[in-house]
Amino acid sequence: MKRKVYLDYAAATPIDPRVRKEMSPYFERYYGNASSIHSFGREVSNVIRNARTDIAAILNADVSEIIFTGSGSESDTLAIMGIARKYKHLGKHIIMSSIEHKAVLQAGHALEREGFQVSYIGVAKNGIVNPKNIREALRKDTILVSVMYANNEIGTIQPIKDISQIVRHARNNGVIPIFHTDACQAPGALPLDVKKLGVDALSLNGSKMYGPKGIGILYLREGIDIEAIIPGGEQERGRRAGTESVALIIGIDRAFRYAEKDRIKESKRLSILRDYFIREIKRKIPGVMLNGHATKRLPNNINLIFEGIEGESLVLMLDQEGIAASTGSACNSFDLKPSHVLTELNIPEDMAHGSLRMTLGRLTTKTDINYVLKKLPGIISRLRELSTITYGKK
């Protein structure tokens, strides 16, 4: 059988077998509705309360500050739209970085249609937001600032503590602005103490932390109100309606716990592997460029541009060899536009098509990396051989 190497952990992680096992009884035995007052319901609501307490402890938060949602995108949408709509009487200005996940950006666009003003703050060439630019964009009527903890495409880690300080300073003991961070890529890689980070709201997602898909978390600091985007029930203290999925809640709780437990050891292992991988690719293949800051990046993220080739071709060629990666190339997207993150880095258009993202994870070994290192140079030279860019060059 051909070797299979999965290098798309930033897209989705496999479920931790321990997590799956611990979830399993909650699909069958605990079927009551947590809102019911009979024993079946009480049992479930106890389990959920414990999980919520557990998650709160990892985040250094209070149990009342944890809201379960259906995904990372929902957490982002709830944070952005829910906070903006709740505080619109205090101002209608929002600040977000231009390299946010589409869940945040699109919520911003939707709010613009509702009459809000959104300032999109660009990044430096290394893919990092300059906190000074956030400070300069702040206005008296700024109600919300949203900057992601780590970028999902190029892996760059944003200066969240610096930004939260600036926001707090501007708040001057008032309520606004509120600071939200999309931390979906952070579990298992970066510290997630909300008090140390100084954030007021933080989004997480089960499917990026070796937990189940279909569940997300929004941390929302006590004292901050939010308008539900799914009203219609008292679950999550009226902030998100819908019968709680106890199995998924158990899943995200256990996954988060395991990810946090191994965070330091695993990040170190992956950073070493990442740096070895990047170094070897650069040694073996000419015309390669790393996107995003070399060290202020997620331990598992490698995002490269290969001159003269197009990303979708590259991903398909790698797939043929059993290697799973992704690209920010226009040809690989629904709207046929290149990735907004790469565009924001001011990468020349002819280069932006040749991007390749490989994200490592718990199951990635050095043998996997060496297998890719064996296959990749041949694939690159093959595609360059076909390319018009190399025509006439030798």
Partner 1 sequence: MEKNNTKVKKSNDVVCGDGGFWVYSGVVKEHFFKPKNFLKEDEDFAADGIGSCGSYACGDVMMFLIKVNKKTKKISDCRWRTFGCASAIASTSMLSVMVTENGGMEIRKARLIKPQQIVDRLGGLPDRKFHCSVLGHMALRDAVDDFEKKHAS
CA dihedral for 60, 61, 63, 65, sign (positive or negative): negative
Q: Quick one: 43 or 321, whose CB is closer to partner 1? A: 321
How many Å apart are CA 281 and CA 59, to the nearest integer? Answer: 37
- Cβ proximity to partner 1: between 77 and 313 the closer is 313
Least Å distance, CB 336 to partner 1, is 6
Q: Which stretch binds partner 1 (CB under 8 A): 95-103, 197-205, 213-221, 308-316?
A: 308-316
Half-sphere exposure of 93 (CA within 13 A, CB side): 10
User: In the complex, what is the shortest distance from the CB of residue 218 to partner 1, in angstroms, rounded to a whole number?
Assistant: 26
Binders of partner 1 in range 341-380 (CB under 8 A):
349-350, 353
Please name the residue ranges forming H helices in 87-145: 102-113, 131-137
Site for partner 1 in 50-109 (CB under 8 A): none
Q: Per this entry, what is the length of the chain?
A: 394
Rounded CA-CA distance 271/295 in Å is 9
Segment near partner 1 (CB under 8 A); pick from 223-231, 247-255, 367-375, 384-392: 384-392
Residues 312-331 within binding reach of partner 1 (CB under 8 A): 312-313, 316-317, 319-320, 329-331
Q: How far is the CB of 90 from partner 1 (least distance, A)?
A: 41
User: Could you say which of 310, 342, 356, 364 contacts partner 1 (CB under 8 A)?
Assistant: 310
Supply the residues annotated as catalytic.
331
Q: What angle do CA 329, 335, 341 make, to 5 degrees?
A: 50
β-strands 216-220, 201-205 pairing: antiparallel
* Minimum CB distance to partner 1, residue 337 (Å): 10
User: To the nearest whole angstrom, how small is the minimum distance from the Cβ of residue 361 to partner 1?
Assistant: 21
Strands of the sheet with 142-146, listed across from one edge:
66-69, 216-220, 201-205, 178-182, 142-146, 93-97, 117-121
Which residues lie near partner 1 (CB under 8 A)?
A: 308-310, 312-313, 316-317, 319-320, 329-332, 334, 336, 338, 349-350, 353, 385-391, 394
